[in-house]
Amino acid sequence: MFGIVKSCTEIAILLVSVVFLYGCKVEIPVKEFPSQMTLETYTVSGELLSSKIVGASDPVYQRTKELFEKERAEWEKSYVSYKTGPYILRSKNLIIRYYPDYLVVDFYDDAGAISLRKNISNLLQLVGLLPNQ
């Protein structure tokens, strides 16, 4: 009998943890984009293929900025590490990781760091990036 109660307690703790970790939806804290960012492209195995500075005139920069304005709410706090790429747009206080169907944003300020994730179907196509090479 004690074993069943212990198992039920463990399941309840697990469920509460899952709800706590994944149930919290927040607004993205990025208020304005940096004037320039570095766009990096990676292979499937995580090797850097290319790196270039992009600014407001770059289509990927523009589409990402528009996406952030449109998708401000309903981001999930993320407590896991993500493998590199296939694309990363970065600046001093902001790292944006593009995946085929979701976006991960790491934001750093004086208060600390926060990592957020949002599922966005066909993300790479929406911002004008090609699927993994």
Q: What gap in Å lies between CA 104 and CA 82, rounded to an integer?
A: 8
Torsion of CA 71, 37, 121, 24, to 10 degrees: -50
- From first to last of the 133 residues of the chain, give the pLDDT tens digit: 545 545 545 554 444 444 444 457 888 777 788 999 999 999 988 899 999 999 999 999 999 999 999 998 999 998 877 777 799 999 999 999 999 999 999 998 888 888 999 999 999 999 999 876 4
Two tokens, residue 32:
């304005």
Two tokens, residue 72:
């401000």
Query: How many distinct helices (H) and strands (E) make up the chain?
Result: 3, 8
User: What is the SS3 assignment for 45-61?
Assistant: CCCEEEEEEEECCCHHH
